[in-house]
A = this chain, B = another copy of it.
Amino acid sequence: MPTIRDIARKSGYSVSTVSRVLNQQKYVSDAAKEAIEAVIKQLDYVPNSLARDLSFGQNKNIGVVLPHNDHPYFNQLLNGIMDAAFSSGYHIVLLPSEYNRTVERDYLEQLKRKNFTALIFTSHELPLAVLEDYTRYGQIVCCENPGQHHISAVYSNREPAYLAAFNYLKSLEVQQIGLLLSRNLAKSPTWVAVTGAYQQIFHQKPDQQLMIGGMRSFEDGYRAAEQLIARQPALNCYFTNGDDIAAGVRQYHLDHQLPVPILIGQEKQLSSLLLKMPTIDHHFFTLGQKAFELALSNQHHECAFESEFIRP
């Protein structure tokens, strides 16, 4: 592989002049430019990125930490990130965390080693204080409200949409509501927000027996319906964390000659459109785009969107 020195020697110019034409800088005569470019073409030369990165002190990689990639939340967010990254010259590195703190910590250490220019946490198990601590080594963006922590963030304010959704169900005079949620943790922000909104509207806590977490797919919804119906045969209303999950619930009802239930989806997947059910749009794609934007910035930013309750 020829190096910049080879080009310099063969063209009769110096390395700095070659470097100048490579980087399209000023102060290069047409003659020099032409001669050098000829040699470059002749020797089939391309500059070495590793050397360039070392010299520049950083590479063009943005790490994206995500626990797994089979939930629309991560898919849509990632698509937004990719979309924004596409024409930027930056690369997206996929960093699976599996909700493991040690793994997350390792990625932070890699940021310190300059393996990435910035890190986007689509979700995190580590305390925000830890993330904050690493911001001195590179930009870090998280996807939730960082509260007091000095971390760049993009997130959607979910409460209003949740309130609207429960209000809608209240107006339908439903008796019981199955709550299908994402994480299994009662302390997760989503869980808290949903139960909070529920209480505000119905003036009581949701029935623990009708709550299930860990929902990711159509299949999960199907099985959840099975479980909940066993506990409460008359159940015919579900608030779910995804359109596909709702579709699974619906399928279970259909398959077992139960009346089609009242459903609320989330993520605004196209299935909600087809099944004509209400959904909640958290604007994850847009969030992803914004997250990437913040990752490139070196200032602190917080960017809040508003989730939207959508009736068919």
Chain B residue nearest to A251 (CB atoms) is B274
Chain B residue nearest to A270 (CB atoms) is B219
Knowing A61-B93, A251-B274, A270-B218, say if A112 contacts B46 (CB, 8 Å).
yes
Chain B CB within 8 A of A58 CB: yes
Chain B CB within 8 A of A166 CB: no
**CB <8 Å contact, A48 and B113:** yes
Binds B, one of A49-57, A176-184, A198-206, A290-298: A49-57
Give A287 Cβ to nearest chain B Cβ, in Å: 17
Knowing A218-B271, A274-B222, say if A69 contacts B75 (CB, 8 Å).
yes
* Interface residues on chain A, size class: 35 or more
Give A144 Cβ to nearest chain B Cβ, in Å: 23
**CB <8 Å contact, A86 and B92:** no
Complex formed: what's the CA distance from A236 to B54 in Å?
62
Chain B CB within 8 A of A110 CB: yes
Interface residues of A in 112-137 (CB under 8 A from B): 112-115
Interface residues of A in 45-103 (CB under 8 A from B): 46-51, 53-54, 57-59, 61, 69-70, 75, 78-79, 82, 86, 91-96
Give A164 Cβ to nearest chain B Cβ, in Å: 25
Number of copies: 2
The secondary structure that dominates the A interface is helix
Complex formed: what's the CA distance from A86 to B97 in Å?
9
Complex formed: what's the CA distance from A244 to B113 in Å?
43
Pick from B61, B69, B222, B270: contact of A61, CB under 8 Å: B61
**CB <8 Å contact, A59 and B50:** yes
**CB <8 Å contact, A218 and B46:** no
Give A194 Cβ to nearest chain B Cβ, in Å: 25
Chain B CB within 8 A of A306 CB: no
Given contacts A61-B61, A254-B254, 4 further A-B contacts (CB under 8 A): A48-B54, A50-B58, A53-B53, A217-B270
Using a CB–CB cutoff of 8 Å, the interface residues on chain A facing chain B are: 46-51, 53-54, 57-59, 61, 69-70, 75, 78-79, 82, 86, 91-96, 109-110, 112-115, 217-219, 222, 247-248, 251, 254, 270-271, 273-275
A selection of 30 A-B contacts at a CB cut-off of 8 Å is A46-B109, A46-B112, A46-B113, A48-B54, A48-B113, A48-B114, A49-B113, A49-B114, A50-B50, A50-B57, A50-B114, A51-B54, A53-B53, A53-B54, A54-B54, A61-B61, A61-B91, A69-B78, A70-B75, A70-B79, A82-B96, A91-B93, A93-B93, A94-B94, A218-B271, A219-B270, A219-B271, A219-B273, A219-B274, A222-B274
